[in-house]
Amino acid sequence: MLTAIALSALAMTVIVALRYLAASALFAWITARRLPGFYAKLGPQMRREIGWSLASAAIYGVPAGVVAWGWQHRGWTQVYSDWDSYPLWYLPLAPLLYLLAHDAWFYWTHRWMHRPRPFRIAHAVHHASRPPTAWAAMSFHPIEALTGAVVIPALVFVIPIHVAMLGVVLVIMTVMGVTNHMGWEMFPRRLVHSRLGGWLITASHHQRHHEEYKCNYGLYFRHWDRLCGTDKGLSANA
Ligand SMILES: [Zn+2]
Ligand SMILES: [Zn+2]
């Protein structure tokens, strides 16, 4: 049994690492096509980002692998695969609940990590990327990676979700993690500057966090930043 759990943890680590490499490579490639030379001179930094991100993949992979094993063999979690288990209207609601919960957790742990001690010990690694690139998506100190790694494995015990919708959450998590760091805005100006855009976090919002540190702490949504007076708006450079 222990071997099976270890194998599941290892498999999940490999999946998380490959998912990171594929998504970051894709958007780094798009960046190179759209903005040739944009990451010139950032070679050594990008290598560091990849190193930290791969270490984070193991930290993300282990709890996810253990929970995935428990889901398959012990009936753990509220993840369901039968489309009829919950009403159809709940299907799109579940990913939204996951994103809102993840966003709240991220906002407050992120703000805490900007206090001097946790910043020096852990979060400085993420901010060593100046400016961040598409490879910085998982560039975290192990302590910070741990605060992120527990979120989805904990939520699956609390909030029911269809396994396909959990896949949607992971895709959104991956794509936004990468694109929010790549240094340019991929969404059309019409959306970013719309009323809806004013509540969503994309590259031009998170870029400003990397420029000024003490603002724009959110992950997917801007309501916590707005509520707490930490929203400084969009960066002029992304
Ligand atoms: Zn960041
Ligand atoms: Zn930060």
Residue 104 falls within a domain, yes or no?
A: yes
Q: Helix axis angle, 151-158 relative to 90-113, nearest 10°?
A: 140
Whether 192 contacts 185, CB under 8 Å? yes
Q: What is the pLDDT of residue 236?
A: 87
Q: How far is the CA of 78 from the centre of ligand 2 (A)?
A: 32
Residue of 156, 163, 120, 130 lying closest to 48 (CA atoms): 130
The bound ligand whose nearest atom lies closest to the alpha carbon of 113 is 2
Q: Tell me how far apart the alpha carbons of residues 220 and 118 are, in angstroms, rounded to a whole number.
A: 23
Residue 204 falls within a domain, yes or no?
A: no
Q: What is the pLDDT of residue 163?
A: 97
Residue 219 falls within a domain, yes or no?
A: no
Residue ranges for the chain with pLDDT beneath 50: none
Q: What is the pLDDT of residue 197?
A: 93
Q: How far is the CA of 161 from the centre of ligand 2 (A)?
A: 30
Which residues are CB-neighbours of 146 under 8 A, at least 6 positions away? 59
Question: What pTM was estimated for this model as a whole?
Answer: 0.95
Residue 12 falls within a domain, yes or no?
A: yes
Beta bridge partners of 20: none
Q: What is the pLDDT of residue 237?
A: 82
The bound ligand whose nearest atom lies closest to the alpha carbon of 111 is 2
The bound ligand whose nearest atom lies closest to the alpha carbon of 217 is 2
DSSP state of 200: B
The bound ligand whose nearest atom lies closest to the alpha carbon of 135 is 1
Q: What is the pLDDT of residue 101?
A: 98
The bound ligand whose nearest atom lies closest to the alpha carbon of 207 is 1
DSSP state of 43: H
User: Which residues form the domain of 24?
Assistant: 2-184
Residue 17 falls within a domain, yes or no?
A: yes
Residue 234 falls within a domain, yes or no?
A: no
Residue 206 falls within a domain, yes or no?
A: no
Q: What is the pLDDT of residue 22?
A: 98
Instruction: Provide the number of structural domains found in the chain.
Output: 1
